[in-house]
């Protein structure tokens, strides 16, 4: 059964979930940056690591956004086919490396960008095959 047509408003909220997901990943990474390079060799060191990570405001922000994004995503899926929503929300494959470069000063190699492009190509192909299947069922 096909859901309602994709409207501009639904498209906006689908893209918003991509940006929220990217921000969530940045928050989770920032919550561990103070502990970067820590080697955990005992239960006490693990406890201290977890205590420091869980006391980070970035982790709390990330967790709150996960809940909010889940609510938004669930609402969107009640209005849009999953086979339409997921390909649209695949821009995080580009947004996360870009955000990592800009905000975390990470280096993204040429080969990693090549992998990102192959993933996006696969998403496009899956999306096209899904839309062809949908037309065949109409």
What is the pLDDT at residue 112?
92
- Its pTM stands at 0.78
Distance CA 30, CA 25 (A): 9
Alpha helix ranges (H) inside 34-81 = 43-54, 57-77
Give the residue, 72 or 121, on which the prediction is more confident. Answer: 72
Cα dihedral 29, 32, 33, 36 in deg (nearest 10):
-120
Distance CA 82, CA 62 (A): 24
Q: Taking a C-beta distance cutoff of 8 angstroms, is the pair 95, 19 a contact?
A: yes
Give per-residue pLDDT as tens, 44-98: 988 988 888 889 999 999 999 999 999 999 999 999 888 888 888 888 888 999 9
Distance CA 11, CA 17 (A): 10
Give per-residue pLDDT as tens, 58-71: 999 999 999 999 99
In this structure, the number of other CB atoms found within 10 A of the CB of residue 115 comes to: 13
CA distances (Å), origin 31, targets 49, 73, 78: 11, 24, 33
Q: Where are the domains of the chain?
A: 8-137
Q: Is the pLDDT assigned to residue 25 strictly greater than 80?
A: yes
Distance CA 55, CA 18 (A): 26
């Amino acid at each position: 059964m096909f859901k309602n047509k994709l409207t501009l408003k639904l498209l906006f909220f689908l893209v918003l979930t991509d940006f929220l997901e990217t921000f969530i990943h940045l928050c989770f990474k920032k919550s561990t940056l103070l502990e970067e390079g820590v080697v955990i060799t005992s239960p006490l060191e693990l406890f201290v690591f977890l205590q420091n990570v869980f006391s980070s405001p970035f982790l709390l922000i990330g967790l709150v956004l996960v809940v909010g994004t889940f609510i938004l995503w669930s609402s969107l899926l009640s209005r849009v086919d999953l086979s339409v929503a997921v390909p649209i929300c695949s821009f995080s494959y580009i947004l996360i490396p870009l955000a990592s470069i800009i905000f975390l000063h990470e280096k993204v190699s040429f080969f990693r960008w090549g992998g990102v492009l192959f993933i996006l190509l696969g998403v496009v192909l899956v999306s096209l095959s899904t839309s062809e299947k949908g037309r065949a069922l109409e």
